[in-house]
Structure 1
Amino acid sequence: MEISGLALVFLFPFSLLIIVSSYRHRSRANSKKRWPPGPWSIPFVGSIHHMITSQPQAALRDLAEKHGPVMYLRLGQIDTVVVSSPAAAQEVLQTNDVAFASRPALIAPEIICYGGLDLAFSPYGEYWRALRKLCVLKLLSTSKVRQLAPIRDSETMSLVTEIHATAAAAAGGKADVNIGKMLVSCTNTITGLATFGDVCSEERKEQFHAAVAMVLSHSFGFCLSDVFPSLRFVDVVTGMRRRMWRAHRQLDELFDKIIEECEARRKDRMVENGGAEDEAAGEDNLLSIMLKVRDEEKLEFPFKNANIKAIIMDLFTGGAETSSTLAEWVMSELMRHPREMAKAQEEVREAFKNINPRHHESHMDKLHYTRLVIKETLRLHPILPLLIPRLCRDNCDIGGFEVTKGSTVVINAWAMARSPKYWEDPEEFWPTRFENSMADYKGSEFYYLPFGSGRRMCPGLGFGMAALELIVARLLYYFDWSLPGKMVPEELDMETIVGATAKRRNQLHLVVTPYDVPIPFEI
């Protein structure tokens, strides 16, 4: 049988890659270095077949139980080390933090985040350090988060008002609501107002939120070139890159219009103030702060509109997406555990009793049990179950094994958070397990890493948690909740889909009944 010239064109590169991959695998096996153990692999594909699942964190947990807490997988052409124990995680995130402080090159961040100009995916170096300093000191500082409290207050109360109106219009004062959809809208609005202030219209904000949703839906699917860098052309042929670039261009056009509107507003304010910028007005949103940094401060790196856009993408994926996803998981777990729901509601209603709603956030320290509920929810449902992958910058010893420069390192935070080695009855929802625990959100205990640890830990933790806690508290204070129809708690669907975040596959629908407390329609 003759093989056509066209077939040879395609077969030759694949055959060459198989030969090269097999040679590299044999060379690794024959090396005197102590490589991490791992599952069996096949030429060219490597260990990808072990990962064909909607729950990669569970698949990696099962493999680690057979091969150990420091495990090697060859995913296509990428050497990957998976860490599944607190001791090994500490070596990566603390002992050798600098060696693992960078990120591997991935297609989605490259396209969506303007070539990795954002904080989450930019390579470790001077640029990243300067960007983190900007975020920590100017954009996401404790004082700035506190300054944004009126936005959280207003928008979470708008959520309460919307739910209350829906229930009031329904027969019997009860309504079936898509609470998942409402939470997404609420957190998007909070992040949007914090980022853009009042510089753009409601229509423009809705367009922006829709564009962000489209970008996220197109950007976190499987890209062949992430594991086969030499086959980048395949993502072009399949249309994956085209879809991401189309979504990116649509979002970029909106960015340009919003920035243009913000700059026009700044100029108008300067005219009103006789040529001087109104400091108070100029600091009322994060975009204005970044534009001021762009125009007035001399940084160690060029800071232009593309950098600003990349940071805003981080704010929406790390702020809005994370907060809404986690709030939905909190409500899901409380619906499955009526006793814990009753206890949390009793605490919130006692703390907020006779308190002006404007002061709810200042009373959050009284919600001790509710905060335990959030901690436990994050244990069972970490938003990033495998965190964000890291790139090994120098040869290191992790758990007694050699991890070579250029390897991708993945930390299975989900597996450690559900391991019976570190938690009693790990599959049970048990908030009081944190009563006397040293584990916190800051990654001080390496068996509990909902937001990672070390220098690449999420800098927006305070911003996201402030919104989350107020949302949950007000949902519990103002409403009673039940499951639709005759559904019992054990029947509630808890299926997870892992994409940009680990969220519910199906948005949460609940029946809501207003609690007997006044709703301040004007606050």
Structure 2
Amino acid sequence: MSLWYIVGALVFFASILIAKNMRKSGKNLPPGPPTLPIIGNLHQLGSHPHRSMFEWSKQYGSLMSLKLGSVSAVVASTPETVKDVLKTFDAYCCSRPYLTYPARITYNLNDLVFSPYNKYWREVRKMTVVELYTAKRVQSFRHVREEEVASFVDFIKECASLENPINFNQMFLKLSVSVICRVGFGINLKGSKLEDTYDQIIVQTTEVFGTFAAADYFPVIGRIIDRITGLHGKCEKVFKVMDSFFDQAIEHHLEDESVKDDIIDLLLKMEKQKTGLGDFQLTRNHTKGILQNVLIAGIDTSAQAMTWVMTHLIANPRVMKKVQAEVREVIQNKENIVEDDIERLEYLKMVIKESFRLSPLVPLLVPRVASKDVKIAGYDIPKYTWIHVNLYAVHMNPSVWKDPEAFIPERFMDNQIDYKGGNFELLPFGSGRRMCPGMGMAMAFVHLTLINLLYRFDWKLPDGMKAENVDLEESFALVCPKKVPLQLVPVLTQWT
């Protein structure tokens, strides 16, 4: 008997138990595509849910309803509806539904990303803003970023001398892991529990976070389905590896008092002194949950941001030539490139914005849940409805962006739109209460790396490939990577 016959039978018998969830509410709900009994629209999401939702929005509007198994959901797809969710009604739309596998990996939601909106979350958010990601702390780790990027540049020089292509999907990930291991955990990647598995673990974790897990949509039989599909096993694998890494880093700090001034050091002091989280006593599981966000969010967003920028540049020779000319004019034979140089690189900043727009790092934000009945765009959103924010649809909206599928950095020349959460046409880091607090840390690293790559090297495609042959498709996960790895050959220049 095939797997799908078994799954079908289980779903059929479970339908009796969840039928009450399928009744019409009688409210003025947003329109949406037709649904099937039991599974609703889940079968229609495909391998790229953000793209499927975008196509539906063209027919059903800026706010539409979906039925995902037993879950009622709405999707916001335009700057106006996204602004309502993330700003106007943020207080009522910023909590999280319980997500089975993120809960496991974050030590029962003891983190910032997946925790529901409650007093604990507010205390953790305040602590991260005040203690972990201040401008002063970002600056204090500047030497780490500069040392790791310098080491990366040396590696590229070796590849250039041998004319070896560089797999940027892999190497940017390794560079990001190296930086975060030192900044967040006070240890080097080499010799750590992540040294041999970081690439698999980071990628698989974001896949788990981005998966529409059966356990979340079929309360009775979902966990059985996830065991059959292997999602449960993948979750346990990444949890065990990361937990072992956290234990190693914490033990290192406890044994060596000279290791200080990193993120673990701060959290361990708060554990010991029983301070920093208001009425909450910080426990080891709280510490690990917070560290999990530092590890995954800090690594993957930076790595994928740099990969996508270099992908779009190599696919658009005109833009590559223009941005390199600007970088080399501004830097002018400086041996030591510093992060302050980004302030004078106006076109590079446009390139990064356009890359964020065309290839959003998180095209479908982590789902939210309405904590009370709200009305958005004239429609009723009942309490407990899941809310999806489709940034991909916003960034590709032809009513907002002319020629949205084209890579045109100059579109930012005549406007003041940025990516810091105040402009709802461009939201790579989200907005409102749930906006990514590590944006400053990530962008300091991204800027420094890109300036070095564009200043010191020219770049060409391997094996006679042409710019028009560069694949721009993404794989779906919480943070979407380039599906076909980007491989480029570095060329030594007079600035190297």
**Is TM-score (shorter-chain normalized) higher than 0.5?**
yes
1:124 matched to which residue of 2?
Answer: 117
Pick closer, same or farther for the CA change 1:360–1:250 going to 2, 3 Å. Answer: closer
Amino acid at match of 1:390: R
1:186 matched to which residue of 2?
Answer: 175
Asked whether the 8 Å contact 1:89–1:411 carries over to 2, the reply is yes
CA–CA distance in structure 1, aligned partners of residues 305 and 334 of structure 2: 26
1:61 matched to which residue of 2?
Answer: 54
CA–CA distance in structure 1, aligned partners of residues 96 and 251 of structure 2: 32
CA shift, 1:345, in A, is 0.6
Cα offsets for 1:364-388 (capped at 9, x unmatched)? 2111110110000000011110111
Cα offsets for 1:175-221 (capped at 9, x unmatched)? 32212211111111111110122488634451573574365266244
1:42 matched to which residue of 2?
Answer: 36
Pick closer, same or farther for the CA change 1:211–1:137 going to 2, 3 Å. Answer: farther
Asked whether the 8 Å contact 2:178–2:188 carries over to 1, the reply is no
Amino acid at match of 1:254: F
Asked whether the 8 Å contact 1:418–1:426 carries over to 2, the reply is yes
CA–CA distance in structure 2, aligned partners of residues 393 and 41 of structure 1: 25
1:326 matched to which residue of 2?
Answer: 305
CA shift, 1:433, in A, is 0.9
1:273 matched to which residue of 2?
Answer: none
2:489 matched to which residue of 1?
Answer: 511
Matched, 1:458 2:436: yes
Taking the TM superposition and a 5 Å limit, the aligned residue runs for 1:41-190 are 41-51=35-45, 53-168=46-161, 170=162, 174-190=163-179
CA shift, 1:17, in A, is 3.9
Amino acid at match of 2:360: P
Matched, 1:231 2:221: yes
Amino acid at match of 1:513: V
The correspondence for 1:426, drawn from 401, 404, 422, is 404
Asked whether the 8 Å contact 1:384–1:450 carries over to 2, the reply is yes
CA–CA distance in structure 2, aligned partners of residues 54 and 215 of structure 1: 16
Pick closer, same or farther for the CA change 1:488–1:367 going to 2, 3 Å. Answer: same
Amino acid at match of 1:343: K
Asked whether the 8 Å contact 2:360–2:428 carries over to 1, the reply is yes
Matched, 1:375 2:353: yes
Cα offsets for 1:35-94 (capped at 9, x unmatched)? 11111011101111221x222111101111111111001100010100111111111111
CA–CA distance in structure 1, aligned partners of residues 111 and 281 of structure 2: 13
The correspondence for 2:264, drawn from 284, 287, 290, is 287
CA shift, 1:289, in A, is 1.2
CA–CA distance in structure 1, aligned partners of residues 86 and 109 of structure 2: 21
CA shift, 1:235, in A, is 4.1
CA shift, 1:506, in A, is 1.6
TM-score, normalised to structure 1's length?
0.89
Gaps of 5+ in 2: none
CA–CA distance in structure 2, aligned partners of residues 375 and 218 of structure 1: 25
CA shift, 1:443, in A, is 1.9
Asked whether the 8 Å contact 1:215–1:247 carries over to 2, the reply is yes
> How large is the Cα RMSD of the aligned pairs?
2.2
CA–CA distance in structure 1, aligned partners of residues 164 and 30 of structure 2: 55
1:3 matched to which residue of 2?
Answer: none
2:378 matched to which residue of 1?
Answer: 400
SS at match of 1:376: helix
Pick closer, same or farther for the CA change 1:37–1:158 going to 2, 3 Å. Answer: same
CA–CA distance in structure 1, aligned partners of residues 408 and 462 of structure 2: 24
CA shift, 1:390, in A, is 0.7
Cα offsets for 1:478-499 (capped at 9, x unmatched)? 1000111222111111111011
CA shift, 1:15, in A, is 4.3
1:27 matched to which residue of 2?
Answer: 24
Pick closer, same or farther for the CA change 1:71–1:127 going to 2, 3 Å. Answer: same
SS at match of 1:503: coil
2:15 matched to which residue of 1?
Answer: 18
CA–CA distance in structure 2, aligned partners of residues 185 and 200 of structure 1: 9
CA shift, 1:446, in A, is 1.4
Amino acid at match of 2:215: S
SS at match of 1:485: helix
| Identity in percent | 32
Asked whether the 8 Å contact 1:21–1:43 carries over to 2, the reply is no
2:208 matched to which residue of 1?
Answer: 219
TM-score, normalised to structure 2's length?
0.93
The correspondence for 2:288, drawn from 285, 299, 309, is 309
1:258 matched to which residue of 2?
Answer: 249
Amino acid at match of 2:333: N
CA–CA distance in structure 1, aligned partners of residues 311 and 36 of structure 2: 41
Gaps of 5+ in 1: 1-6, 270-280, 519-523
**Higher Rg:** 1
Pick closer, same or farther for the CA change 1:504–1:286 going to 2, 3 Å. Answer: same
CA–CA distance in structure 1, aligned partners of residues 180 and 28 of structure 2: 47
The correspondence for 1:477, drawn from 447, 455, 461, is 455
Pick closer, same or farther for the CA change 1:504–1:200 going to 2, 3 Å. Answer: closer
1:498 matched to which residue of 2?
Answer: 476
Pick closer, same or farther for the CA change 1:405–1:201 going to 2, 3 Å. Answer: same
Amino acid at match of 2:263: L
Cα offsets for 1:408-433 (capped at 9, x unmatched)? 10011111111111111111111111
Cα offsets for 1:248-278 (capped at 9, x unmatched)? 1232123212211111112xx4xxxxxxxxx
SS at match of 2:232: helix
CA–CA distance in structure 2, aligned partners of residues 68 and 200 of structure 1: 47
CA–CA distance in structure 2, aligned partners of residues 369 and 200 of structure 1: 34
CA–CA distance in structure 1, aligned partners of residues 339 and 34 of structure 2: 53
Matched residue pairs, number? 488
SS at match of 1:458: coil
Pick closer, same or farther for the CA change 1:421–1:122 going to 2, 3 Å. Answer: same
CA shift, 1:111, in A, is 1.1
CA–CA distance in structure 1, aligned partners of residues 94 and 71 of structure 2: 18
